[in-house]
Amino acid sequence: MISQKSNRRNFLSETGKLAGGGWLALNTPMLLAAGHAAEAHRASEKGWANMTAQEAAAFAAVADQIIPPDDTPGASDAGVVYFIDNVLGGFMTGAGGMLRQGLADLDAASIEAVPGSSGFAALTFEQQTGLLQAIETTSFFNTMIFLTHCGMFSMPSWGGNRDRVGWHMLGFDNRHAWQPPFGYYDALADAGENS
Amino acid sequence: MVFDTRKEVDFVIIGSGASGGILAKELSTAGFDVVVLEQGPYRTAADFSHDEMKVMMQREMTSHPGWSDPQTFRHAASEKATVKSSGPPPALYARGVGGSSVHFTANYWRLHPVDFKERSLLGEISGTGFTDWPINYEELEPYYSKVDWEIGVSGAPGPFDPPRSRPYPVPPLPLKSSGALLEKGAKKLGLHPQAAPMAILSQPYNNRPSCMHCGFCMGFGCEANAKSSTLATMIPLAEATGRCEIRPLSTVFRIETNAAGRVTEVAYLDAQGAQQAQKAKAVIVAANGGETPRLLLMSESSKFPNGLANSSGLVGKYLMANAHSRINAFFDEQLNEYKSVQVTRIVHDFYDNDPARGFYGGGGIDARPFIQGSPMMFALDGLPPDAPRWGKAHKDLLRHNYTRRLSLLGSCTSLALESNNITLDPELKDAAGRPAMRITYSDHADDLAMAGFLQDRSVEIMEAAGANTIWREPVSKTDVLAHLLGTCRMGNDPTTSVVDPFHRSHDVPNLFVCDGSSLVTSGRGQPTMTIQALAFRAAEHITKFARGGEI
């Protein structure tokens, strides 16, 4: 399969616009402190700093659509909402309004699609998937994809990736030292079978 | 060692990176008093981490600590240059003691003899500033060997390598699966893959440990001091002389000159933002091929109305970035590219120009995880463009392929064009009040053709190696320049070059310029080895000049 790359780059560019300026302006020691505070905050289970409980439930439902739970944990199990709560108080502050509006729109669409429901988080998994398919190209959903992946696979100190479940999912182990052979093909070459 | 700013030191060096670090060590060990002004912070190995949010997203290394230092970019002078709304800055380099040698990948290719005299061999290329160097390979060779031994380079001779006077001090780094697959595919095609020369230690050397293969290398600082940055190698030796002060968080905004046209002092903002000036007998600008011309242009005066050392009008011109191509591939078995250094094998079969290709150029191919080796960057940008972006199928692709992915990078020539340059933005200023760096850059058609050629070969190599999925990144005009070369080119003629063959500016006798800006041609894509060989050579000559009263 040979193909040209375009969609993913546009997506990264789109999400980068929201966050770029904030990142550049950040002060490193403050950021580090915020990171460790986020991990401690998650552990303390004291609730949310930058969102309501209802918003947190909706963020969790959207994040689980992006990386769903199956035989391994999904995004909400990994604590991605804690990551989002953390960065909404940091470099993603500027996107907070857009994200909250996106959740409100999603809740409104949910109630319209399923009369009598209380919002997106209350729908079935399949119903949620259908609603998100309709908004796949929006800034809201692209930003949610971006944040879900950042939260799931970044250092646990940022609030997500609880117990390193994101890294376990990928097969990544954050060690500081490895020894060869590193993988299948270099081991094969060392055995003289790679000519 | 702390010098009084009012004391006239022997040398002020602006920049502590690949070249500045070497100049600081060489001149201080030669007995001179040296102050190094570095705009970034003084990090050490203990400050480096695997934190992708901090290093890759927040751009801890490449953004200016404490304030915004925007750059503007355009492809042509007919466009208005603007600040990019996202992505890396157009002139991408690391700020901090050790400069970009701290975060680089550490590919250490020498130039070949042909790189110094290709204009004479091939003739003129219309519309370009393609020209010969005033020095040749034989003259630079001892200093390449000096880099190998003093900086610490791992490697083994390859079939296309230029002559060397000494062997590598330490053997190549252990093979990774990406290197094994490049080797397998290339050999099937009759090519000649070789061990990659890398400025990362494969064995303990010069009181530094060998690489632990932690995998956080390209873009990250080395927590073990095994990567041979000037931070790990030269700076400690310079400081140990007791004659060298590294002054971090010092942002230079002007080089002052007197009525006689000589440099007298360097004005900068200190860590608190207060204006300071360090007096010096001579100044060496080693701020990189972007910041060096920016500073010279900012240092204009009635005596030097077009900028310091710019009687030729060439300060900032002939910017070269090296063109690149990339493909990505998945394999059936696990590579685990998150471990160890980026590159272990390269292909140099396409180094030389070949008229049969129909365009000028040459380059090399390497195999590496690229920035998608680390987990978050892979999750964000590691799958093919047609892969689902969310949901169960997306999750399945992520978890199956993280350990099964690699990239092949093609790196090649950039032709020198006067229209590719660094200028001062006429409107935008940074937080220090300095005019923003304005980059104007369009890869020459031949550079893009060469990058495309390397990409085609890369696809063939991965097909031969048995990849189950291959996809290309589009080859197009770049707007991110990780190599900043050629903007104060070296030459014998003051009307067609900025510095002489010993890096002394033609216009100001006690002003030297030595960094990527000195390069006359771009080489084939990995410039740091050459920048450092030039720095060792320059230091030797500057020492002679200073001792002989010739500065």
Record the tokens describing residue A132, joined without a space.
């998100």
Q: Are B494 and B486 in contact (CB under 8 A)?
A: no
Please tell me which of the candidates A19, A145, A154 has its beta carbon nearest to residue B389.
A145
Beta-carbon neighbour count of residue B291 at 10 Å?
28
Residue partners of B340: CB distance under 8 A and separation at least 6 = A178, A180, A182, B173, B174, B176, B211, B213, B214, B215, B217
pTM here?
0.94
B82 touches chain A (CB under 8 A): no
B202 touches chain A (CB under 8 A): no
* CA–CA separation, B282 and B297 (whole Å): 18
* CA–CA separation, A135 and A142 (whole Å): 9
Phi, psi at B546, each rounded to 5°: -65, -40
The pLDDT profile of chain B, 551 residues, written as one tens digit per residue, is 899 999 999 999 999 999 999 999 999 999 999 999 999 999 999 999 999 999 999 899 998 887 789 999 999 999 999 999 888 999 999 999 999 999 999 999 999 999 999 999 999 999 999 999 999 999 999 999 999 999 999 999 999 999 999 999 999 999 999 999 999 999 999 999 999 999 999 999 999 999 999 999 999 999 999 999 999 999 999 999 999 999 999 999 999 999 999 999 999 999 999 999 999 999 999 999 999 999 999 999 999 999 999 999 999 999 999 999 999 999 999 999 999 999 999 999 999 999 999 999 999 999 999 999 999 999 999 999 999 999 999 999 999 999 999 999 999 999 999 999 999 999 999 988 999 999 999 999 999 999 999 999 999 999 999 999 999 999 999 999 999 999 999 999 999 999 999 999 999 999 999 999 999 999 999 999 999 999 999 999 999 999 999 99
Q: How many CB contacts within 8 angstroms connect chain A with chain B?
A: 206
Chain A: give the shortest CA distance to residue B318, in Å. 29
DSSP H helices in B233-384:
234-240, 291-298, 375-381
Q: Is A59 helix (H, G, I), strand (E, B) or coil?
A: helix
B214–A175 C-beta distance less than 8 A: yes
Closest CA in chain B for residue A4: B472
Chain A residues closer than 8 Å to B174 by CB: 180, 182, 186
Annotated domain spans of chain A: 20-173
Closest CA in chain A for residue B431: A25
ipTM: 0.95
* CA–CA separation, A47 and B11 (whole Å): 58
Instruction: Report the pLDDT averaged over residues A50-79.
Output: 97
Bridge partners (DSSP) of residue B269 are: B251, B275
Bridge partners (DSSP) of residue B334 are: none
* CA–CA separation, B17 and B271 (whole Å): 19
Annotated domain spans of chain B: 9-547
Chain A residues closer than 8 Å to B180 by CB: 185-186, 188-189, 194
Chain B residues closer than 8 Å to A148 by CB: 390
Confidence of residue A45 (pLDDT cuts 50, 70, 90): low
Q: What percent of chain B has pLDDT over 90?
A: 97
CATH fold of the domain at B9-547: FAD/NAD(P)-binding domain (3.50.50)
E runs forming strands in B315-444: 323-330, 345-347, 363-368, 405-412, 421-429, 435-440
pLDDT at A190: 81
* CA–CA separation, B375 and B338 (whole Å): 8
pLDDT at A94: 93
